[in-house]
Amino acid sequence: MITRRALLGSMAALQAAPLPTGKAEACIFLWLGGGAAHVDTFDPKVKGDGKKKAGSYYDSIETSARGIKVTEHLKRTARVMDRVVPIRSISHGISGEHAAAANLVHTGRLPSGNIIYPSIGSIVSHQLGARTEEVPSYIVIGYPNIMRDPGFLGAKYGYVYLTQIETGPTGLIRPPDVSLAREDRRETLLAQVREQYTKRHPDDKTVQSQADISRQGFKLAGPKFLNVFDLKRESAATRESYGAGEFGQRCLLARRLVQSGVRFVEVSHNLNFLNGTGWDTHNEGQLKQHLLIQELDTAFAGLIEDLDRQKMLDSTLVVVATEFGRPPEFDSGGGRGHQSLAYTMVLAGGGLRTGRAVGATDEIGQQIVDRPVTIPDFHATIHAALGIDPTKSLFAGDRPVPITDHGRPIAELFG
């Protein structure tokens, strides 16, 4: 029996242990909105029948990592699992509401009544910044959402978002009827107005922050950043290796963005038209879930292989995240409900010790049986891989707020 004194002693020893530090320079965060079923992807179990018998919906296959299996629809990923770490024991307490769970995974915290917490992308932007002034530090490829916002860090650490990957952010493209000389005149006039205002109102931080963003926007409108979006600069073989679908090409763009100096790129993959429901596979969504998994497989494996060819895999952490998993039981329509107390998220590359699984669930994937990992622990691992101290405090006004909510990095993935 573990005594209270022994438990407190072990906790103190854990807190005193040195934190691991990685050498990754950027993060690509693949978001599977809707709640991807761990038992049908990265934590396959005994096969169910789609009705009364609980279990996976598909057969499992061996991978390049000894002892690790994945679903049969992750065939290309199976070949690169030696460079991947499935975290099979993620747990949190929000299973009923997608937005609340997604916000938790993005911010690492439950909402507060008096503080708006920053997203993990904004924290990375704040701590590391872009590697050059000609690109932003944080980009979201998908629609904007408050859960990805900078919170108390301020607008300077917000994201540039893209919905079309071919042209880049529309707000940075000069209209065809505005010449370069006319644009320069406008910027000169705007700079004068800014200067006059800030002299009269030196304590107005909001306007100063917006002015900083405006100045950065003009820098980003240059050719270095906008040329990143010309995917035709890549060989046909490279483009095809990511898959012909939109998600694959988004992942290719994410690689190009990181290569140009962007620190954090989130890529959304919740394309409902593939199976009718996206990753929220209630009822009939389960029937064509394999189409989503196959598209993820091609893009994820293509990204890992390409980063490896570019000699960028050790310096780029790839994350596959989702708000919760799905239970092994099937609902009345043949789909699955929500499960947050035991599910899987994935890390790859980033200089981590890959080719292993962290944590384990029971024989049907319903309960954690080894090495629980909290959302703050998951965030702490990402930060540590990027060389960011997860215990460091940021400041919401005068109030110190630790980067993670007492999260501890997964130590066995470092060193």
Tens of pLDDT, residue by residue over 235-254, are: 999 999 999 999 999 999 99
How far apart are the C-alpha atoms of 100 and 189, rounded to whole Å?
A: 43
pLDDT band at 202 (very low <50, low <70, confident <90, very high): confident
Confidence band for 9, pLDDT divided at 50, 70 and 90: very low
pLDDT surpasses 50 at 311: yes
Q: How far is CA 399 from CA 38, 70, 383, 405, in A?
A: 38, 44, 21, 14
CB 157 within 8 A of CB 138: yes
Q: Is 60 exceeded by the pLDDT of residue 20?
A: yes
Amino acid at 73: H
Among 26-30, 56-60, 186-190, 392-396, whose mean pLDDT is lowest? 186-190
Report yes or no: 276 and 150 within 8 Å, Cβ to Cβ: no
pLDDT band at 5 (very low <50, low <70, confident <90, very high): low
Partners of 268 in the beta sheet? 31
Q: Is pLDDT larger for residue 214 or for residue 105?
A: 105
Buried (b) or exposed (e) across 255-287, using 16+ Cβ within 10 A?
A: bbbbebbbbbbbbbbbbeebbebbbbbbbebbb
CB atoms within 10 A of CB 61: 15
Q: Among the listed ranges 15-29, 49-63, 170-184, 297-311, which one has the minimum average pLDDT value?
A: 170-184
pLDDT of 318 higher than 90: yes
In this predicted structure, the answer to whether residue 317 has a pLDDT above a threshold of 70 is yes
pLDDT digits (tens, 9 = 90+) for 260-280: 999 999 999 977 778 889 999
Q: What fold characterizes domain 19-173+221-413? A: Alkaline Phosphatase, subunit A (3.40.720)
pTM of the model: 0.87
> Could you tell me the CA-to-CA distances from 102 to 22, 26, 91, 352 in Å, in that order?
26, 22, 13, 25
What is the pLDDT at residue 102?
98
For residue 37, what are its two tokens?
A: 């079923």
Q: Which pairing describes strands 343-349 and 316-321: parallel, antiparallel, or unpaired?
A: antiparallel
Domain ranges for the chain: 19-173+221-413, 180-217
Supply the DSSP symbol for 358.
B
Q: What is the pLDDT of residues 95-116, one digit of tens each?
A: 999 999 999 999 999 998 889 9
Q: Round to the nearest angstrom and report the end-to-end CA distance of the chain.
A: 33
CB-CB contact of 411 with 20 (8 Å): yes
**pLDDT for residue 212:** 59
Q: Note the pLDDT of residue 270.
A: 74
